[in-house]
Amino acid sequence: MISKKNIKSRGIVLILCLLLAGVTCAQTTVTIQEKENAPIISKHIYGHFAEHLGRCIYGGFYVGEDSNIPNTNGVRTDIIEALKELKVPNLRWPGGCFADTYHWKDGIGAKEDRPTIVNQWWGGVTEDNSFGTHDFLNLCEALGAEPYLAANIGSGTVKEFTDWIQYVNHDGESPMANLRKENGRDKPWGVTYWGVGNEMWGCGGNMTPEYYANLYRQYATFMSSWNNDKGIYRIASGANVDDYHWTEVLMRDIPKHLIEGVALHSYSFVEWNDKGPAANFNEKQYFKTMERALNMETLITKHVAVMDKYDPDKKIDLIVDEWGGWYNVEEGTNPGFLYQQNTMRDAMIAGATLNIFNNHSERVKMANLAQTVNVLQAVILTDDEKMILTPTYHVMKMYAVHQDATLLPIDLKSDKYEFEGNSVPAISASASINKEGVAHVSLVNVDMNKAHKITLDFQKMKLNKATANILTSAKVQDHNSFENPNKIVVKEYEDFKFKKGTLELEVPAFSVIVFEIK
């Protein structure tokens, strides 16, 4: 329960009632209230991740300047435009596991002179390094997104790391600044966000948290912003799912002046050794995947409790820089490329997870969906010149209204979605109010079978106009394809009643609705 102390009288009360066989069941209640000193929902929660993995970079983002596909400096123009529509706030690169085998100097200078690299993590393919630092940072400029560089700790050196920072940030005479100018870029990009390694408990080196904490301290000590106006923001490689001990050691052993963020990674799937099909799944597979996705609430709550123990003033942020659905690859594709379809189940994962992040925005300040193009829970899929937008893309676009808005805290008592004796909350919700005083409420019904009737009481907010958009489809397995790219699109939702400050509607099974209330 949210305490009523220091809470303004203005509020929203949502009463949700499940209808089953014509009989009204117990009500589910969501109370949304304004609260003094409520946190801002950082736009960076809506970040993305682009790794050198499968067809995310080569054949996805990057087709080369000589391609017949319209491009801007080798990057597909249609992808740039689609991501600008999404208001992508930040983009993480070059990995992932790939980051700790990546040596940045291999990706600068004349493209014809760059050495090749074998991607030992993802498919064993040989890459020519034609997409490097300049290409990525120029892409971020085109998108209006902050770059988030994941640097090589596993197989690199302190000097290699700090040279990279100097190369992209130093605005004067220095060896790396001069090298950047020789390569055609006069002014620095000013990169603020830096990951100090990736998954150091696994592919980053199979380290213990104690060893990594000491290594982190060494690297962070030599990291300078080089007069970047926004400073430097150092993100420690954080825990794998529920490894709370890892978070404990980092928070305990790393001095507070050397760290700004701690990462967390968690994916949603059926079972690790058999993640299940991306599209032709059954209800058992759907339920297990949603059960794991909704567990993000528990993960964040428990990791934040550890962080609060050592950082009660909340100076260090939680950064969920890898999240999303992970399934078996599509039949006939390279198993190392992690290419999968994207269905209404993925829309459920996206909507519910973003609601969780919004509601924990006091500590969660950045998150990165894995991944942007052609890999895992992608927002964009490509096939030669063709491009489609996935259900996940549409949810991210619907939720963009929450970026940098003030959180409206909620007290949620949800009815259950039950399957074979187990249950998860059927309804997920979050709300915010922007600087113009416009409120937005995002609702997700993860129940695969049943609609939920909802009553929203806005009388205390003195609101008189509501509009809404919905994302839903006939089957939860439905997806957009290159043959039918608009099977699932956002539509205006008008099937609600708004009278005397009360709004009544029914949320269909497996659907996402975002309301705007003025």
Q: What is the 3-state secondary structure (H, E, C) of 426-438?
A: CEEEEEEECCCCC
Query: Tokens at residue 24, please?
Result: 């009204």
Better pLDDT: 456 or 262: 262
Question: What is the pLDDT at residue 497?
Answer: 82
Average confidence (pLDDT) over 399-426: 92
C-alpha–C-alpha distance, residues 110 and 190, integer Å: 22
Q: Say what the alpha-carbon torsion angle 394, 398, 404, 407 is, to the nearest 10 degrees.
A: -130
Confidence at 15, pLDDT banded by 50, 70, 90: very low
| Residue 74 CB neighbours (<10 A) | 19
pLDDT tens readout for residues 168-194: 999 999 999 999 999 999 999 999 999
pLDDT digits (tens, 9 = 90+) for 38-52: 999 999 999 999 999
Instruction: Tokens 């909340």: give the residue.
Output: 314
Total residues found in the chain within this entry:
518
Report the distance separating Cα 208 and Cα 222, nearest Å: 22
444 by DSSP, 3-state: which? strand
23-37, 163-177, 285-299: range with lowest mean pLDDT: 23-37
Q: Is 312 exposed, middle or buried (0-12, 13-18, 19+ CB in 10 A)?
A: exposed
Read off φ and ψ for residue 302, nearest 5 degrees.
Answer: -75, -40
Which H/E stretch holds residue 295?
none
438: which residues sit within 8 A by CB, 6+ positions away?
516, 517, 518
How many other C-beta atoms are found inside a 10 Å radius of the C-beta of residue 492?
Answer: 8
Say if residues 403 and 89 touch (Cβ distance below 8 Å): yes
State mean pLDDT over 134-143.
98
Q: Quick one: pLDDT at residue 518?
A: 86
Kindly state the tokens that stand for 38: 């409520």
pLDDT band at 501 (very low <50, low <70, confident <90, very high): low
Taking the CB of residue 440, how many other CB atoms lie within 10 A of it?
21
Give CA–CA dist 130/475, Å, rounded: 41
Asked whether 87 and 404 are in contact (CB, 8 A), the reply is: no
What tokens does 65 get? 């300047």
Q: What are the backbone angles phi and psi of residue 180, rounded to the nearest 5°?
A: -60, -45
* Average pLDDT of every residue of the chain: 92
Fold (CATH) for 7-37+408-517: Immunoglobulin-like (2.60.40)
Q: Can you give the pLDDT at residue 25?
A: 40
Side chain identity, residue 403: Q
The secondary structure element, H or E, covering residue 93 is strand 90-93
Domain ranges in the chain are: 7-37+408-517, 43-285+313-405
Q: Which pLDDT band, with edges at 50, 70 and 90, does 9 fall under?
A: very low
How many CA atoms lie less than 13 Å away from 351 in the CB half-sphere?
28
pLDDT higher than threshold 70 for residue 26: no
Q: What is the second-level CATH architecture of the domain 43-285+313-405?
A: Alpha-Beta Barrel (3.20)
Q: What average pLDDT does the segment 130-140 reach?
A: 98
Q: Band of the pLDDT at 58, cuts 50, 70, 90?
A: very high
Structure token digits, residue 432:
């915010």
φ, ψ for residue 93, nearest 5 deg: -160, 150
Q: Which of the four pLDDT bands, split at 50, 70 and 90, describes residue 410?
A: confident
Distance of CA 52 to the CA centre of its chain: 17
What would the pLDDT profile of 343-394 be if each residue is shown by its tens digit?
999 999 999 999 999 999 999 999 999 999 999 999 999 999 999 999 999 9
pLDDT range class, residue 29, cuts 50, 70, 90: low
Taking residues 298-308, what's their average pLDDT?
98
How far is Cα 296 from Cα 261, in angstroms, rounded to an integer?
18
pLDDT above 80 for 428 = yes
**What positions carry a catalytic annotation?**
199, 322
> Under a CB-based contact definition with an 8 Å cutoff, are residues 194 and 219 in contact?
no
Phi, psi of 72 (to 5 degrees): -120, 105
Mean pLDDT of 259-268: 98
Q: Above 90 in pLDDT, residue 64?
A: yes
State the pLDDT at residue 460. Answer: 64
Mean pLDDT of the 82-106 span: 97
Say yes or no to pLDDT of 20 above 50: no
CB 34: neighbour CB atoms within 10 A? 20
Look-up of token digits 């260090």: 316
Structure token pair of residue 114: 């760059």
> What is the signed CA dihedral for 56, 57, 60, 63, rounded to 10 degrees?
-170
Residue 487 confidence (pLDDT): 98
In the structure encoding, which two tokens stand for residue 29, read together? 């209640």
